[in-house]
């Protein structure tokens, strides 16, 4: 029976509307996932509260919270842009979500833009939460907010490139394991809660080149010590961002 | 329903490593419902996924609604609807949430609530995708393929594993799409699905189209009718064949199950029964059948369609 209900009337929604819808959905998926929240919210919050209140790690001169907050902010960026994004995208690839969306009106770059937006929205929520907690613990930040913003954006770009590279090349299970392992290793060896100068000097030089070390060190220079633009750390992050995003663009497989 | 082709595939070749999945395939699909029929591994999904822009042909050309699915995907994608064989949904998304999302990517989508109602997805409530039943997941994928009001819908095994009721609901929707002027390309290995729905059937085997036409045309070709009977296993089929007119065929399909192909008329039936009488065979369950797509497939490939 002809009802005309299904009569073709094709057309793509306006691009900004598609990207906004996609970003909103991606953000909801992220916030609904319990394991993701553990990684992005619970662990950074616990580390900040625990190590600020209990003197476990020698954080050097000054208030512990002033040392810890920049590191935990760096960790929050890594947890969302790298670990969370890698795991989520890996499983989306595995379950054909990326494939299905690739035949939708949303162009592939639009999907990537939406993913980036979802990461940024999540990071804003994390940073607001962690900042409020840090202030409650007596945090007194210094420095230029613009330098902080630049560090956060470049850090996000660097971690996103690496996360997407992993998600787009490895099996979902391998990504899950590797992303968590890297998170743990970088948490310990990336200057987040343990100052890098506690490591042997040879190791320090290598660890200092990691994106997490550059981000936590840069944030600490600005927020704890009131330094100007941390050009060295910004350069390291920019290099990781270029290499990671280029490799992800080159090797990412959609299914 | 003759008109401009909605899909035109010429000399398509697609290899995966050393394995050739599609081997010089030609296919023209016009408005209406086209069923791509074939056993598992015949190259159905590869062909359809090339049309959907997922795979680049190793050689040959593919045009969908006159466009190149890989290089002109921006123009093509809003005009087609895709139902993958499985997956395609965020494991943490609810059915209505995902469907609403796909609707938002289109300019003039269908009414989402009506579609949910129609496909019986209303009961999914707050259940996330990974906890939906296989049938619910399948119906959601179908809904996602049609919600954008496309001109052409690709359905890859849309009823595989569905219960009869859900299967008929899917068939009804395909019929309504067709009636409203939406073209449908569906892959299936169910004969009855192709016979029920398709204006046109393309039979694929080993990466090539080996026959194409309406179900009636295909069934008219070759032997007109089939006579089947059961008897004790291991009868001398060669002797039976000698008793039959020259253009007939005879075969033991499975032990004790025989099939005679050819122009089945009263004379032929008498010949078969008298041969049985001479050989002391009691033919049981003797039946004369219309030639089915299943027979056509068997004749063309020597293979059963496996499910």
Are B158 and B55 within one domain?
A: yes
The total of structural domains in chain B comes to: 2
Are B201 and B101 within one domain?
A: yes
Q: Does A100 touch chain B (CB under 8 A)?
A: yes
Residues of B in contact with A2 (CB under 8 A): 179-180
pLDDT at A202: 87
Q: Does A13 touch chain B (CB under 8 A)?
A: yes
Of the pLDDT bands very low, low, confident and very high (cuts 50, 70, 90), residue B41 is: confident
Q: Which 3 state secondary structure label does DSSP give A89? A: helix
Contact A240, A158 (CB under 8 A): yes
Contact B206, B25 (CB under 8 A): no
Task: Retrieve residue B39's tokens.
Answer: 């056993």
pLDDT at B224: 60
Cβ–Cβ of A12/B105 closer than 8 Å? Answer: yes
Are B16 and B35 within one domain?
A: yes
Nearest to B151 among A10, A91, A105 (CB): A10
The CATH number of whichever domain residue B242 belongs to comes to 3.30.70
| Element of type H or E holding B15 | strand B5-16
Of A202-206, A216-220, B247-251, the range with the highest mean pLDDT is A216-220
Q: What's A87's DSSP letter?
A: H
DSSP A132-193: HHHHHTT----S-HHHHHHHHHHHHHHHHHHHHHHHHHS-HHHHHHHHHHHHHHHHHHSSSS
pLDDT at B1: 46
User: Quick check: is B301 in a domain?
Assistant: no
* pLDDT tens, position by position, B134-144: 999 999 999 99
Q: Give the residue carrying structure tokens 């613990």.
A: A137
Are B123 and B83 within one domain?
A: yes
> Between residues B122 and A80, which one has the greater pLDDT?
A80
Are B198 and B51 within one domain?
A: yes
Best of A15, A89, A100 to disrupt the B interface (most B CBs within 10 Å) is A100
> What are the domain boundaries of chain A?
15-53+61-251
Q: What's B305's DSSP letter?
A: P
Are B105 and B52 within one domain?
A: yes
* Number of residues that make up chain A: 255
Range of the domain at B160: 5-218
DSSP B237-263: HHHHHHHS-TT-EEEEEETTEEEEEE-
Of the pLDDT bands very low, low, confident and very high (cuts 50, 70, 90), residue B2 is: low
User: Quick check: is B94 in a domain?
Assistant: yes
Task: Retrieve residue B58's tokens.
Answer: 């190793």
Report the Cα B223 to chain-centroid distance in Å.
22
Residues of B in contact with A1 (CB under 8 A): 176, 179
Are B124 and B214 within one domain?
A: yes
Domain C-terminal end among B183, B218, B253? B218
Q: Whole-angstrom Cα distance, residue B65 to residue B138?
A: 26
Best of A3, A12, A88 to disrupt the B interface (most B CBs within 10 Å) is A12
Number of other CB atoms surrounding residue A38 within 10 Å:
12
Cβ–Cβ of A25/B149 closer than 8 Å? Answer: no
User: Quick check: is B240 in a domain?
Assistant: yes
User: Quick check: is B84 in a domain?
Assistant: yes
- Predicted TM-score (pTM) of the model is 0.84
Cβ–Cβ of A100/B150 closer than 8 Å? Answer: no
Nearest to A104 among B77, B110, B151 (CB): B77
Are B200 and B240 within one domain?
A: no
β-pair partners for B36: B187, B202
Are B202 and B133 within one domain?
A: yes
* pLDDT tens, position by position, A196-209: 888 898 888 899 99
* Nearest CA-CA partner of A156 in A253, A74, A236: A74
Cβ–Cβ of A103/B87 closer than 8 Å? Answer: no
Q: Which 3 state secondary structure label does DSSP give B213? A: strand
Are B66 and B184 within one domain?
A: yes
Q: How many angstroms separate the Cα of B65 from the Cα of each of A153, B2, B82, B257, B282?
A: 43, 15, 14, 47, 57
| Percentage of chain B modeled with pLDDT above 90 | 67
Closest residue on chain B to A7 (Cα): B180
Residue A1 scores a pLDDT above 80? no
Residue A2 scores a pLDDT above 70? no
10 Å CB burial of residue B28 (0-12, 13-18, 19+) is middle
pLDDT at A175: 95
* pLDDT tens, position by position, A175-193: 999 999 999 999 998 989 8
Residue B223 scores a pLDDT above 60? no
pLDDT at B307: 39
Cβ–Cβ of B52/A25 closer than 8 Å? Answer: no
β-pair partners for B202: B36, B212
Q: Whole-angstrom Cα distance, residue B36 to residue B49?
A: 13
Which positions 56-95 of A are in contact with B (Cβ < 8 Å)?
A: 91-92, 95
Are B56 and B163 within one domain?
A: yes
Are B240 and B279 within one domain?
A: yes
User: Quick check: is B175 in a domain?
Assistant: yes
């Amino acid at each position: 029976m002809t009802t005309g209900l299904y009569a073709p009337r094709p057309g793509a929604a306006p691009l900004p509307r598609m990207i906004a819808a996609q970003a909103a959905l991606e953000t909801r998926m992220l916030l609904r996932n319990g394991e993701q929240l553990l990684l992005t919210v619970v662990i950074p919050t616990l580390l900040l509260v625990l190590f600020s209140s209990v003197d476990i790690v020698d954080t050097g001169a000054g208030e512990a919270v002033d040392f810890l907050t920049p590191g935990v902010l760096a960790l929050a960026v890594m947890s969302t842009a790298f670990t969370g994004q890698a795991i989520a995208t890996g499983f989306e690839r595995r379950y054909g979500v990326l494939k299905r969306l690739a035949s939708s009106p949303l162009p592939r770059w639009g999907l990537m833009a939406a993913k980036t937006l979802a990461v940024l929205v999540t990071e804003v929520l994390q940073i607001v939460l962690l900042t409020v907690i840090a202030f409650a613990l007596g945090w007194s930040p210094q420095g230029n907010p613009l330098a902080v913003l630049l560090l956060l954006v470049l850090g996000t770009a660097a971690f996103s490139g690496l996360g997407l590279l992993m998600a787009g090349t490895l099996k979902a299970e391998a990504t899950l394991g590797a992303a968590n392992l890297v998170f743990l290793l970088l948490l310990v060896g990336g200057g987040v809660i343990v100052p890098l100068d506690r490591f042997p000097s040879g190791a320090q030089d290598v660890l200092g080149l990691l994106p997490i070390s550059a981000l936590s060190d840069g944030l600490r220079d600005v927020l704890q010590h009131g330094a100007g633009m941390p050009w060295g750390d910004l350069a390291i992050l920019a290099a990781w961002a270029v290499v990671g995003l280029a490799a992800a663009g080159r090797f990412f497989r959609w299914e | 329903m003759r008109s401009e082709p909605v899909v035109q595939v010429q000399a398509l070749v697609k290899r995966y490593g050393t394995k050739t999945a599609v081997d010089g395939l030609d296919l023209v699909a016009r408005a209406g419902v086209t069923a791509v029929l074939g056993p598992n591994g015949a190259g159905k999904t590869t062909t359809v996924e090339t049309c959907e822009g997922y795979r680049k042909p190793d050689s040959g050309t593919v045009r969908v609604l006159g466009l190149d699915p890989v290089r002109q995907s921006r123009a093509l994608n809003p005009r087609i609807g895709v139902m993958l064989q499985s997956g395609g949904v965020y494991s943490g998304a609810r059915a209505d949430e995902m469907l609403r999302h796909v609707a938002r990517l289109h300019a003039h989508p269908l009414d989402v609530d009506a579609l949910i109602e129609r496909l019986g997805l209303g009961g999914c409530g707050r259940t996330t995708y990974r906890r939906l039943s296989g049938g619910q997941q399948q119906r959601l994928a179908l809904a996602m393929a049609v919600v954008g009001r496309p001109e052409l819908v690709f359905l890859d095994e849309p009823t595989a594993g569905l219960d009869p009721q859900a299967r008929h609901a899917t068939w009804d929707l395909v019929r309504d799409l067709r009636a409203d002027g939406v073209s449908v390309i569906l892959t299936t290995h169910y004969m009855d699905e192709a016979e029920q729905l398709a204006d046109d059937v393309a039979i694929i085997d080993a990466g090539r189209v080996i026959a194409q036409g309406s179900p009636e045309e295909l069934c008219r070709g070759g032997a007109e009718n089939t006579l089947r009977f059961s008897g004790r296993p291991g009868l001398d089929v060669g002797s039976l064949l000698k008793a039959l007119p020259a253009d007939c065929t005879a075969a033991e399909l499975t032990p004790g199950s025989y099939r005679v192909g050819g122009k089945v008329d009263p004379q032929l039936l008498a010949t078969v029964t008298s041969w049985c009488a001479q050989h002391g065979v009691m033919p049981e369950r003797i039946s004369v059948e219309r030639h089915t797509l299943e027979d056509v497939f068997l004749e063309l490939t020597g293979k059963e369609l496996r499910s």
